Copies of this chain bind each other. A is one copy, B any other.
Amino acid sequence: MNAGVEWALHSCLNLAWTEPGETVTATKLAAFYDLPAAYLNKQLQALAKAGILTSNSGPRGGFRLARRPEDITLLDVVTAIEGPEEAFRCAGIMRHGPGGRADIDYRKTCAVSQAMHRSELAWRRELAAQTIADLKDVVERAHPYVPERTRTHLANL
């Protein structure tokens, strides 16, 4: 999995801690964790394209969450960065085996493909059951000072 997923999730969390309506530039979001700004910007653009972030251009431009943290699941973020393809990509090798047919979509009929698909669904279900708000709560319960420290740190970058 792309390192961008880790960057994207942490950046969404940082944006969840900014004041409502406030935007943060890609440069600041990258500097927060000493990440390469150009590459993080690509991930942020992917999040914007997926409707997770809103991007404003101009001198006071930057990124903010496009919806409430409760309404952004980890699956939304992972899919925005990694794409919707499954990790197991059935190449339909049964097509070349005995009785194989070119007109069958083996992703739908092959026992191997379906078992792998079922496993990925379990992963996606778990990602879909967790939101940015959940992560935010976990962090704030353990470290109540983090929201304020994040805002201060972003302001001073």
Binding site for B on A (CB under 8 A): 1, 3, 5-7, 9-10, 13, 32-35, 74, 87-91, 93-94, 96-99, 111-116, 118-123, 125-127, 130, 134-135, 138-139, 149-150, 153
How many chain copies does the complex carry? 2
Q: How distant is A76 from chain B, measured CB to nearest CB, in Å?
A: 13
In the bound complex, do residue A127 and residue B119 qualify as a contact, i.e. CB atoms below 8 Å apart? Answer: yes
Contact of A123 among B10, B123, B150 (CB under 8 A): B123
Q: Interface on chain A toward B: helix, strand, loop, or mixed SS?
A: helix
In the bound complex, do residue B130 and residue A94 qualify as a contact, i.e. CB atoms below 8 Å apart? Answer: no
Do A6 and B112 contact each other (CB < 8 Å), given the known contacts A87-B87, A149-B98? yes
Q: Kindly report which residue of chain B lies nearest to residue A127, judged by CB atoms.
A: B119
Complex Cα–Cα for A20 and B96 (A) = 26
Q: Give the chain B neighbours of A9 by CB distance below 8 A.
A: 112, 115-116
Do A97 and B33 contact each other (CB < 8 Å), given the known contacts A111-B139, A138-B111? yes
Complex Cα–Cα for A146 and B89 (A) = 24
Complex Cα–Cα for A88 and B88 (A) = 15
In the bound complex, do residue B97 and residue A32 qualify as a contact, i.e. CB atoms below 8 Å apart? Answer: yes
